[in-house]
Amino acid sequence: MTMEQIIALPWRRKADWRESLPGKLKKIEKGPISIDSKDWLLRCRDLTKIKSLLEKSGLNLQRIHSLIPETIVSASALGIQTQLIVEQEVQKNQKTETAQSSQISPTIYFHHGTLRSGEHLESEGDVLLLGDVNPGAHISADGDVMIWGKLRGTAHAGKSGNQKAKIAALQLRPLQLRIANQVARGPEEKPENGFAEEALIASGNIVIQPAST
């Protein structure tokens, strides 16, 4: 059985992964591979490029490890297995990088589990939920709301008036969306396959689009 190999991208402040990745691929045997993307914010197009580079080298991308919730959402939208690395793990396993890791997403509240009807999850910063938000459930945050799953309940981002806040989900079909003081109903049509979605304020209205690809 072939053992899974891991390629670690450089820290964003130290080098560009686009320059370092091709050289790393020359040292890896063909087979399954995981990518530790550290503090890189990788969109769907970035991950698609990484997959293409790996496939040209005979490598099969199995999993993305990341410190950045948005990277986790993008990878999951493309059907890639993921692992979110929380700040405490970085401090425990990479003491030499503590100064950097302490600056990464310090205000994100992480919740693992589906919100069911009648439940309410609230955060004073950003919130990342790994699970679904069912009809009758409510999730809100002063910052961004990120859902690694289906949003079918109610979501409120920027609840203290932040009009730059966003709501992102693998499937964004809520009963109601709120960003700052703006309110909108969710779309009725089915989402496009392979795309995470996000809601944001543009020209004074809430709009829904593929998530920052």
Confidence (pLDDT) at 76:
78
pLDDT tens digits along 24-69 = 888 888 888 999 999 898 988 899 999 999 999 999 998 999 888 7
Rg (CA), the chain: 18
- Indicate whether 3 pLDDT > 70: no
46 and 140 part of one domain: no
Calculate the CA dihedral of residues 72, 89, 98, 122 and round it to 10 degrees: 60
Confidence (pLDDT) at 95:
45
- Which residue has better confidence, 86 or 8? 8
Query: Average pLDDT of 19-23?
Result: 90
- Indicate whether 140 pLDDT > 70: yes
Confidence (pLDDT) at 143:
93
Of 46, 66, 101, which marks where a domain is finished? 101
- Answer for the pair 40, 14: CB distance below 8 angstroms, yes or no: no
70 and 120 part of one domain: no
Closest of 183, 111, 108, 115 to residue 150, by C-alpha: 115
Burial 94-109 (b: 16+ CB within 10 A, else e): eeeeeebbeebbeebe
Of 40, 73, 101, which marks where a domain is finished? 101
pTM: 0.59
pLDDT tens digits along 190-213 = 656 556 789 999 999 999 888 764
57 and 114 part of one domain: no
Burial 6-45 (b: 16+ CB within 10 A, else e): ebebbebeeeebeeebeeebeeeeeeebbbbbbbbebbbe
Confidence (pLDDT) at 9:
92
Q: How many domains does the chain have?
A: 2
- Answer for the pair 186, 176: CB distance below 8 angstroms, yes or no: yes
Of 66, 101, 136, which marks where a domain is finished? 101
Rounded Cα distance between 50 and 25, Å, is 11
114 and 205 part of one domain: yes
- Answer for the pair 105, 91: CB distance below 8 angstroms, yes or no: no
- Answer for the pair 75, 82: CB distance below 8 angstroms, yes or no: yes
- Answer for the pair 137, 153: CB distance below 8 angstroms, yes or no: yes
Closest of 199, 202, 109 to residue 155, by C-alpha: 199
113 and 69 part of one domain: no
